[in-house]
A and B are shown apart, each in its own frame.
Chain A
């Protein structure tokens, strides 16, 4: 039976692992390579490397970091996010050892490149990454570069339901970095129904995780710092009685 996933999220800025608060403040927490090795060793289901300072300055993907990660022996599926502008860049990242890409800017500005990328790596390789806010009970997308809220246009909604994207990472901007605060309204009020969602941002408590895993739309949970400051935290999450039916047992790397 297919299980839901715990996606360990490593936010990276200027080559360092960082904790963010409400998508603005950053606090350095360590070396992303060490965090990556730990998440792999502890048996995380997928690991998302989210490089948060690339698109804003049109720097493209962080190939330096990708090369460093390539040199490690990581046996866990890897997702890359940050600065992917073209299908060629995306395909190169996959060739360097990543399995999937989480994209944001391409969704809004480069539909043709997104179509090409999906043709090359398959829809299963592409996750739409959407920072979201709840404004007067409406779910809106937060453009973190222009720092403004926008409604999902018909074009974007159409792209989300076509065969070019497999899942959507929904980031709770207002509760990013918070404790036990992810707003479940972002799931059931999401403007397009029937899609597979991965909530992220403010998810820290195991019973909160159980509640979120119950949603049929939820295919996995993105967890940040809550995972990598305590060595056995992932196992605790997976062994929590209400989570067992949804999650694969965590297996430490031998």
Chain B
């Protein structure tokens, strides 16, 4: 697949620099998107994110990006959410009060436990017979305090943390989400992002 154009949404929340570097390392063309028109020129969109759900959604509204992202997705184009970006794919979040998400995959985002954060390298356990099974039991870097309660049919892999099974990868047709940071998960992260982008473009 040559000349893949990856749109990276810049809405002021998060670690754009690292995801940008990884996309370029994978020999894909990076397009930074901070206004609606930018979505027309790309093959796939990545929604990165670090921080607060409420603030991130507000930023998307401020930049008039919500409608364009919804339109991009409704046309069958692929979207990948990373960490907070994955949580924004949900129906709603209860971080700093209730806020509606993009509702691309149904489910709520709730606190793991007050005062508890899931930080560090954790293994993912994949559901059998899916595209990601080669990453079963491999380690990725997590850094979050809220998690996505998605329905089982959308959970591709989970990770055990305290008494919770955290959804680490979620998927529904043209929407994919990683709770961990592939851009900070060293070799495993590079491979999974590369594989995922190509998978999404092939099958969506």
A contact residues vs B (CB 8 Å cutoff): 1-5, 40, 43, 45, 70, 73-78, 91, 94-100, 119-125, 161-163, 166-167, 219-220, 248, 251, 253-254
Does any Cβ of A come within 8 Å of B144's Cβ?
A: yes
Pick from A94, A124, A254: contact of B119, CB under 8 Å: A124
Q: Quick one: which of A43, A98, A120 contacts B186, CB cutoff 8 A?
A: A43
Given A121-B51, A122-B50, also A4-B120 (CB < 8 A): yes
Closest chain B CB from A217 CB (angstroms): 14
Q: Which secondary structure characterizes the binding site on chain A? A: loop
The answer to whether A77 touches B143 (Cβ under 8 A) is yes
Nearest 3 A/B pairs, CB to CB: A97-B17, A124-B117, A166-B117
A154 to chain B, nearest CB (A): 18
**Contact indicator A100/B189 (Cβ below 8 Å):** no
Residues of A within 8 A of B144 (CB): 122, 124
What separation, in Å, do the CA atoms of A163 and B118 have in the docked complex? 13
Give the shortest distance, in Å, between A153 (CB) and chain B (any CB): 20
Do A75 and B183 have beta carbons less than 8 Å apart? yes
Q: Which residues of B contact A70 (CB under 8 A)?
A: 17
Interface core residue of B51, B161, B188 (most chain A CB under 10 Å): B51
Expressed in whole angstroms, the Cα–Cα distance for A125 and B50 within the complex equals 9
Within 8 A of A (CB), among B45-60: 50-52, 55
Interface residues of B (CB under 8 A from A): 12, 14-18, 21-22, 25, 50-52, 55, 96, 114-115, 117-123, 139, 141-145, 159-161, 181, 183-190
Task: Chain B residues near A94: list those with CB within 8 A.
Answer: 14-15, 50-51
**Cβ contacts under 8 Å, A3 to chain B:** 120-122, 139
Question: Is the beta-carbon distance between B114 and A163 smaller than 8 angstroms?
Answer: yes
Residue in A45, A220, A254 whose beta carbon sits within 8 Å of that of B187 in the complex:
A254
Contact of A45 among B120, B160, B183, B189 (CB under 8 A): B120
Q: Could you tell me if A99 and B50 are in contact, using CB atoms closer than 8 angstroms?
A: yes
- Across the interface, do A248 and B121 meet the contact criterion of CB distance under 8 Å? yes
CB pairs A–B below 8 angstroms (16 shown): A5-B120, A43-B186, A74-B21, A75-B183, A75-B189, A77-B143, A77-B184, A99-B184, A100-B143, A119-B96, A123-B115, A161-B115, A166-B117, A167-B119, A219-B119, A251-B186
Q: Report the Cα distance A95→B190, complex, angstroms.
A: 20
- On whether the beta carbons of A253 and B186 are closer than 8 Å, the reply is yes
Given contacts A76-B184, A76-B186, A125-B50, contact A96 B55 (CB under 8 A): no
